[in-house]
Amino acid sequence: MSILVLADLHEDQLTGATAHVVAAAQLIQNNTGGNIDVLVAGEGIQAAAEAAAKLDGVTKVRLADNAVYANQLAEPLGALLVELANDYTHVLASTTTTGKNVLPRLAALKDVSQLSDIIAVDSADTFKRPIYAGNAIATVKSGDALKVITVRSTGFEAVGANGSASVETVDTVVGNRQSSFVKAELAQSDRPELSAAKVVISGGRGMGSGENFKLLNGIADKLGAAIGASRAAVDAGFVPNDMQVGQTGKIVAPDLYIAVGISGAIQHLAGMKDSKVIVAVNKDDEAPIFQVADYGLVGDLFEILPELELRL
Amino acid sequence: MKILVAVKRVIDYNVKIRVKADYSDVDLSNVKMAMNPFCEIAVEEAVRLKEKGVATEVVAVSVGPKAAQEQLRTALALGADRAIHIETNERAESLAVAKLLAKVVDEEHPGLVILGKQAIDTDNNQTGQMLAALTNLPQGTFASEVTVDGDKVNVTREIDGGLQTIALTLPAIVTTDLRLNEPRYAKLPDIMKAKKKPMSVKTPADYGVEMASKVSLLKVESPTERKGGIKVASVDELIDKLKNEAKVL
Ligand SMILES: Cc1cc2nc3c(=O)[nH]c(=O)nc-3n(C[C@H](O)[C@H](O)[C@H](O)COP(=O)(O)OP(=O)(O)OC[C@H]3O[C@@H](n4cnc5c(N)ncnc54)[C@H](O)[C@@H]3O)c2cc1C
Ligand SMILES: Nc1ncnc2c1ncn2[C@@H]1O[C@H](COP(=O)(O)O)[C@@H](O)[C@H]1O
């Protein structure tokens, strides 16, 4: 009755998402007992394994360090999970692009359904998950012997990092002739990770250009905020895709979310409406974003942003 | 090369859904339905590959009730050559759909299968990956660029940290992200022509696939609604509220 958590990595380092998944695993463990193991798979990922071993509640880390797992390509990682899953009743991963990419492969090869993006654990087999862009919450019960689950970070408070689990090497090596890594273009930023930031300031189409997004920098610096965007801003080429907040981008729930020049489409709201406090800046006083904003400021963002930066 | 595209009939993305009074499900009666937006992008990509001479035939598949034929006709109007409707009134879970699509892949031998990354009703984001696993074909998910090059396809993927490009051997499975392309609108003459394009109708039983799943839906609720707040008159008032009322600064 043990649980396996697939660690989420970015450039071979453990991301914050994994601590949230372990928190969800603990809620399941409260019902079932057993261990919580974390699989760290990649190449040159010793540091990530050590970071995972510190997460509270983890029994042991299973480290699969081999070139075939580099960049977490879906085919070898899925095959590895299939090998390891026999020891577990639940396999969990975060709803990050790696988790979404690989976990359904495990489910299909084990002939079980996957429960995507859970936000609450009711019991060892019953979970809550948002559907229809978060406009409904479904309670689902799985009768499958193996439960394959992705976990939404904002649903679970991250566990601490005061543990000292053992790290055990996994020798399983699978082949992969089908897919190969060509290149990555990763965003470089000194700002906090969007999905982990306490404050997020996002710009929409109203920003008008990529150049104008710089108006958000000074404010983000002062607030220690991450910068996000609406899909329209990404589509228009103002900013890269990894900044998109929404149903099909990143889901965020910071203490403070500031939406600037964003109208508030259902798909955008799906990504930020669980924020503690929402501020909207928009020149249209009927923009739907005001229906969810705790504080709305109607006006021209080109006047408001410089003033806000000055006054903070 | 033949391309298979999977299209799902879902609620129109602009519609705000309602939950049924008995919390059994979402109420879809008299609600506008449409092709899942990510599937429109999948059809568009397939048709563009045909227009470029990379593909020779585009086959659209949908699993669902009789009405799903509307979405298949849309796919035909957008440029697909023929359609396969796998008719069922049961809830079509991703795993069952992937099993059916795997059977169609066995029969049709496509060089490329293009699916949406996510259906906007269940928000599952599973079917393409499951299909890849079941057919033992490589996958390129969340694609923002697809380039076929001989017996390989390069797929640029939208990942959390930015973009990743991978090379896959063909045949391969691709799932679309939003920026892969901008789908065209069907023109009236094409909509007329689409009515005459072939559509074969099958059932899951024809493929020997069970639709039943071990996941049961116990309850569907509305999320706790956020109440709108207040409008502030100035930047100063905003900062004051954030400091002293919301205490987030
Ligand atoms: C399948 C699907 C998935 C989607 N997923 C997402 C998603 O994940 N995330 C997402 O964000 N969207 C998503 N969308 C798109 C969504 O439907 C909207 O089109 C998008 O969110 C609109 O972005 P926007 O608010 O920036 O632009 P607009 O709707 O154009 O709004 C711009 C706003 O800026 C204001 N404005 C303009 N100039 C100024 C100024 N000078 N000062 C102040 N205000 C100004 C305007 O009043 C307006 O309200 C998705 C759509 C589909 C179909
Ligand atoms: N019932 C269905 N019929 C045809 N294709 C489907 C069906 N369900 C899912 N798909 C395909 O799988 C993609 C992802 O769906 P999902 O994994 O369910 O979120 C969709 O965009 C479709 O391309």
Nearest-by-Cβ selection for A297 from B138, B162, B232? B232
Q: CB B238: neighbour CB atoms within 10 A?
A: 23
Length of chain A measured in residues: 312
Residue A195: predicted pLDDT: 87
Nearest CA in chain A to B127: A104
Residue A154: predicted pLDDT: 93
Q: Does B177 touch chain A (CB under 8 A)?
A: yes
- Kindly report, residue by residue over A165-177, the tens digit of the pLDDT: 999 999 999 999 9
Contacts of B220 in chain A (CB under 8 A): 131, 136-139
SS3 category, A290: helix
Q: State the pLDDT confidence band at A188, using cuts at 50, 70 and 90.
A: confident
Cα–Cα distance list, A234 to A205, B52, B176, B178 (Å):
9, 27, 16, 10
Q: State the pLDDT confidence band at B143, using cuts at 50, 70 and 90.
A: very high
Residue B92: predicted pLDDT: 93
Residue B76: predicted pLDDT: 98
Q: Which ligand is nearest to the CA of B4?
A: 2
Distance CA B65, CA B62 (A): 9
- Alpha-carbon distance B91 to nearest alpha carbon in chain A (angstroms): 13
Strands of the sheet containing B162-169, edge to edge, are A179-186, B162-169, B152-159, B139-149, B172-176, B112-116, B2-6, B57-64, B82-87, B199-202
* pLDDT above 90 for A12: yes
* pLDDT above 90 for B228: no
A172 contacts A64 by C-beta, under 8 angstroms: yes
Nearest CA in chain A to B211: A113
- Kindly report, residue by residue over A54-106, the tens digit of the pLDDT: 999 999 999 999 999 999 999 999 999 999 999 999 999 999 999 999 999 99
Tokens 């956020």 sit at which residue?
B226
Nearest CA in chain B to A114: B126
CB contact under 8 A, B129 and A108: yes
**Percent of residues, chain A, with pLDDT higher than 90:** 96
Mean pLDDT of chain B: 97
Cis preceding-peptide flag for B171 (omega within 30 of 0): yes
Residue B238 — φ and ψ, nearest 5°? -60, -50
Residue B115: which H helix or E strand, with range? strand B112-116
Residue A193: predicted pLDDT: 87
Q: State the pLDDT confidence band at A196, using cuts at 50, 70 and 90.
A: confident
Residue A1: predicted pLDDT: 82
Span A268-282, average pLDDT: 96
- Kindly report, residue by residue over B32-53, the tens digit of the pLDDT: 999 999 999 999 999 999 999 9
Distance CA A273, CA A261 (A): 16
Size of interface A-B (CB pairs under 8 A): 259
Residue A312: predicted pLDDT: 92
Count CA within 13 A, CB hemisphere, residue A39: 30
CB contact under 8 A, A141 and B215: yes
Residue B205: predicted pLDDT: 98
B window 92-111, beta carbon within 8 A of A: 93-95, 98
Residue B35: predicted pLDDT: 98
Tokens 């994994």 sit at which residue?
A18
Residue A82: predicted pLDDT: 98
Residue A287, ligand 1, Cβ within 6 A:
yes
CB contact under 8 A, A182 and B177: no
- Kindly report, residue by residue over B154-199, the tens digit of the pLDDT: 999 999 999 999 999 999 999 999 999 999 999 999 999 999 999 9
Residue A7: which H helix or E strand, with range? none
Dig out the tokens for A265 from the structure.
């489409």
Distance CA B171, CA B62 (A): 20
Residue A152: predicted pLDDT: 97
ipTM: 0.95
Count CA within 13 A, CB hemisphere, residue A287: 26
Closest among A144, A128, A146, A134 to A92, alpha carbons compared: A146
- Kindly report, residue by residue over A219-257, the tens digit of the pLDDT: 999 999 999 999 999 999 999 999 999 998 999 999 999
Q: CB B233: neighbour CB atoms within 10 A?
A: 11
Distance CA A225, CA A252 (A): 12
Distance CA A214, CA A216 (A): 5
A129 contacts A251 by C-beta, under 8 angstroms: no
